[in-house]
Structure formats: structure tokens, C-alpha cells
Amino acid sequence: MSQPLHFTLDELDFKILSCLQKDGRMSFTEMADALKVSVGTIRTRFNKLIEDGTISIIGRVDADKVGFKCYAHIAVFVRPATLKEKIAQKISKLPEVSFLAMTSGDYDLEVDVMCRDNNHLVEFVNDISKLEGVHQTKTTIYFKVYKYAQPDLKLLK
């Protein structure tokens, strides 16, 4: 697979991204009218944003409505620290994982997961605890999610 091209985003790119964040199904014609540019300009910019990897178009599922009743945060402590990258690569491939990051705090990896129920979560935690180098895990269940959002692009101005 080829490396994505990298372009500098300009004001029009950010306006297109904002339109798509409000309505991922917005037509090129609607965007062109709203932004006072041609449909061709929107199409070209949109394709550039896709090719660059800046955006991907997906359908965001409401996890609770489709049956994921257990959403949790898992702090993973890795020993020795040299295994962090290897463990992160393995965890990233697990389908339950919705977010994974290396951290600088008390623990090494931060993992958010969506599971069918508590039993599924227990199985998941047990499975990652068996990975070589996973020293300890600490799980926090989210009882209720109040906000789950994309970044507000206006904060970059």
C-alpha cells in the first residue's frame, strides 16, 4: 500500500471538513452552494482529503442501540517497557478496541473497548492479561457516556 500524500490544509478544506462533520452525507452540490464555490472544486478537495487520509467516510454506530452494553477504559501496565510497541500492535488488532494510545502517565497503554456485556469484558481483560509483558491492568467501566464527538475544528483557529 502506498503512503498517503500530505497537503497543507487551507480554510476551504476546513470548511469542507466542518460540513462533513455536521452531515457526512451532505452532497457536493449542497457544500458548493453553502461555501460559494463550484461543485468541481468541492469534488477535487474532497478526493484530496480522502487520498491524503485526512478523512474517511464511515457510518458511526450508536454502540448502545446495536447491543454493546459494556463500554470500558483499561489501563495497561507493561513490563519491561521495551514490549510496549509489540503489545500495542497486538491489542490494536482486537475488534473490541475503539481507542488505543501510549501514555506518559502512571500506566503505559490506554485502551477503550466496547463489549456486548460484562462477561465479554471479563474475557477481553483476561485475554490481554495473558499477553507477554502485560504486567497489570486496571479497568473502569463507563456507566453512561455523555459525549462522544469528533474534534471541533474551530479550536485550530
Per the rule left: phi > 0, alpha: psi between -120 and 50, beta: everything else, 133 is left
pTM tops 0.75:
yes
Domains of the chain: 11-52 (1.10.10.10), 63-142 (3.30.70.920)
Residues 6+ away with beta carbon under 8 Å from 34: 19
Asked if residues 39 and 87 have their Cβ atoms less than 8 Å apart, the reply is no
Report pLDDT for 61.
86
**Cα-Cα end-to-end distance for the chain:** 33
pLDDT in tens, 80-110: 999 999 999 999 999 999 999 999 989 999 9
Cell of 9: 490544509
29 within 8 A of 40, measured Cβ to Cβ? no
